[in-house]
Amino acid sequence: MQFVDFRCSPTPRRGRARVLLLTFLVAAMGTGVVAWVLTTMFARKQEARVPYVRVVDVNEISVDPVPWGLNWPHHFDGWKSTAGDKFYGGSNAMPQSKLEKQPWLKRLYAGYAFSIDYREARGHAYMLYDQGVTERVTKKPQAGACLHCHGSTTVLYRKVGLEALGKDSSEAALAADFNMEAVQKGFEEVSTKTYEEVLAMLKQMPDGTPDENEPVFPQAPAGGFEGEFAGQPVPENHPAMGEAHPVTCIDCHDPKTMAIRVTRPGFVNAIRDLAEGDAPVPHLPSIDKWRNGDRATSYDPNRDASRQEMRSFVCGQCHVEYYCASKMTLTFPWKNGLRMEDLERTWEETTFPDGTAFADYVHGETGAATYKVQHPEFELWSQGIHARSGVSCADCHMPYQRVGAAKLSSHNVRSPLENINASCQNCHHQSEAELASRIETIQSRNLALLGRAGAAMTDMVDAIMEAKAAGADDEALKDIFVLQRKAMWRLDYISSENSRGFHADQEAARILGESIDYSRQAQAAALRLRAPEAPATDDLPVEGVQGVTTPK
């Protein structure tokens, strides 16, 4: 007889069901994980093979970056990231005033618009906004040449240029071809106009998105924070209406091939002048190659430069020293070379078209004609060890990054300190903390020396003012004014340069050392103008040589 235990029979069955369910769940999860890994692998391989898909067409009129962003979303995201986590507009969001942080800057820029409003820089996203609201522009008339760099101006220059040359300037013609000659012509035509005029023209230019008038980043309120329309909507028919863009994709990329290119006439002219001169440029081998060639055509960076050089040249279109007011067209002083003295010599040799000697401003306190340094990052980098080793701007400021399996250069252009791993550790195999501390060392030394140079400059200005009060006229002060200009040029060169001495630390220290020397020379000379005649020193006793044993 078979014994059936009714109490136990459900248990093994239920147990089997549990095991079965568990097996099923584990298998389902396992399959899910494997499927996920396989799909990611496939996606990664696909990304590596096809880095981008061109879903819309862009051409030479596509100033608006939004269509480009559809094709190259990662690059576009990077570009937008230069705003930070979001765009911070309004007067409360403005960065710290440098004038408050370093009060000697007010003495340096006395009589010049920089003494009104001068702040820490922000990312590329803010270039047009911040220019529109700075009191240098809203309170003082400025030249339209300022937009050469702060706005995306190639289509504007080209359209004005084509009109001036009497050629077809329709949208179709503008979209078809770049035409550097027309850009050059338009740049010259526009450079005589005021900032407001050129900005209004820029806003009216076709940008490739005719049905849309909303820029990626907010535009500056017309007239700044205290202007005509502060806090109020601008009427529809106002010339300030329309869409203007800060520097966008088209300014550095060829829309057909995506190759990087330079578009700014200021740079194209200056690098041509540099090549035609004989200043050594060991970090730019293509210039040497051109100089050794037949020189049948002028040096053209878009044709002659290597890709590695172009990765610096695109930045050198704006991050340089230049003259950009209204007395002559925008000029970079590179014909004598890229060192600080070379730039200074170029300005000393320059006269304005009206025949007067070149000067940026007359110093408000002493009356000396002085030069304003803009932000010579490209020039200072050119003197440093990184340039000499073939490292471009983009290698550190736009380091390669991986998005999935796609490799691209980061378009969130920023300080390499923000991503030491990607920027520095390709070459420097030390820890991030060690590298950060090296940079900190360089920059804090530079800051300390800069403070000393600022103090020396202040003492110099005081001494010159005292000499003037004591009756010294401009004729008596002539040589002192030259010393003042040289001291201020050197101080401003490192103070305005945005790397805090890092781009070429030894060179920065040398320049500041010279600044201190010229300031003190000028101070001593100014003091001598009102000091009594120095007495003769011949009769003063002089101690003989000591410490030598007299032979017995």
Partner 1 sequence: MQEPYDTWLKSSHHAVAVCNDCHTPHDSIAAKYLTKADNGFFHSLAFTTGDFKDPIQIKQRNSDIVQASCLHCHHDLVNHMLPVETGGDMLRCVHCHASVGHAHSIAPRRYEGY
Candidates 359, 352, 366; CA nearest to 489 is 359
| Closest separation in Å from C-beta 104 to partner 1 | 39
Residue 78 or 208: the one with the smaller Cβ distance to partner 1 is 78
Residue 28 or 41: the one with the smaller Cβ distance to partner 1 is 41
| Closest separation in Å from C-beta 409 to partner 1 | 11
| Residue listed under structure tokens 């194209």 | 268
Note every long-range contact of 44-51, with CB atoms under 8 Å and residues 24 or more positions apart, other chains counting.
44/404, 44/405, 45/405, 47/404, 47/405, 47/406, 48/405, 48/406, 51/406, 51/407, 51/408
| Closest separation in Å from C-beta 390 to partner 1 | 3
- Strands 369-370 and 361-362 turn out to be antiparallel
Within 7-101, strands assigned E span none
φ/ψ of 331, rounded to 5, equals -135, 135
| Closest separation in Å from C-beta 41 to partner 1 | 8
Residue 421 or 506: the one with the smaller Cβ distance to partner 1 is 421
φ/ψ of 143, rounded to 5, equals -85, 150
Element (H, E) at 403: strand 400-403
For residue 467, give the amino acid letter. Answer: A
Interaxial angle between packed helices 180-190 and 154-164, expressed in degrees from 0 to 180 and rounded to the nearest 10: 90
**Exposure string over 30-66, b if 16+ CB within 10 A, otherwise e:** eeeeeeeeeeeeeeeeebeeeeeeeeeebebbbbbbb
Residue 232 or 421: the one with the smaller Cβ distance to partner 1 is 421
For residues 519 and 490, give the distance between their C-alpha atoms in angstroms, rounded to a whole number: 10
Residue 426 or 444: the one with the smaller Cβ distance to partner 1 is 426
Sequence-separated (6 or more) residues with CB below 8 Å from residue 549: none
| Closest separation in Å from C-beta 426 to partner 1 | 5
Count Cα atoms within 13 angstroms, Cβ side, for 128. 27
Residue 277 or 285: the one with the smaller Cβ distance to partner 1 is 285
| Closest separation in Å from C-beta 250 to partner 1 | 26
| Closest separation in Å from C-beta 384 to partner 1 | 13
Residue 348 or 432: the one with the smaller Cβ distance to partner 1 is 432
| Closest separation in Å from C-beta 427 to partner 1 | 5
Residue 294 or 538: the one with the smaller Cβ distance to partner 1 is 294
Question: What are the start-end ranges of the H helices in 154-214?
Answer: 154-164, 171-176, 180-190, 195-204
Residue 95 or 404: the one with the smaller Cβ distance to partner 1 is 404
| Closest separation in Å from C-beta 497 to partner 1 | 23
Residue 44 or 122: the one with the smaller Cβ distance to partner 1 is 44
Which spans of this chain sit near partner 1 (rule: CB under 8 A)? 37, 40-41, 44, 285, 288-289, 292, 306, 308, 388-392, 395, 400-402, 404, 421-422, 425-427, 429
Instruction: Give the burial class of 294: count Cβ atoms within 10 A of its Cβ; 0-12 exposed, 13-18 middle, 19 or more buried.
Output: exposed
Query: Is the sign of the CA dihedral 277, 279, 280, 283 positive or negative?
Result: negative
Token code pair at residue 469: 């009060």
| Closest separation in Å from C-beta 74 to partner 1 | 13
Residue 30 or 404: the one with the smaller Cβ distance to partner 1 is 404
Residue 186 or 384: the one with the smaller Cβ distance to partner 1 is 384
Residue 170 or 297: the one with the smaller Cβ distance to partner 1 is 297
Token code pair at residue 180: 């550097």
| Closest separation in Å from C-beta 425 to partner 1 | 5
| Closest separation in Å from C-beta 45 to partner 1 | 11
3-state secondary structure 213-246: CCCCCCCCCCCCCCCCCCCCCCCCCCCCCCCCCC
Residue 97 or 437: the one with the smaller Cβ distance to partner 1 is 437
Question: What are the start-end ranges of the H helices in 398-496?
Answer: 420-423, 432-469, 478-496
| Closest separation in Å from C-beta 43 to partner 1 | 10
For residues 519 and 461, give the distance between their C-alpha atoms in angstroms, rounded to a whole number: 9
| Closest separation in Å from C-beta 429 to partner 1 | 7
Angle at Cα 71 formed by Cα 65 and Cα 76, nearest 5°?
A: 45
φ/ψ of 194, rounded to 5, equals -80, 165
Candidates 163, 158, 204; CA nearest to 177 is 158
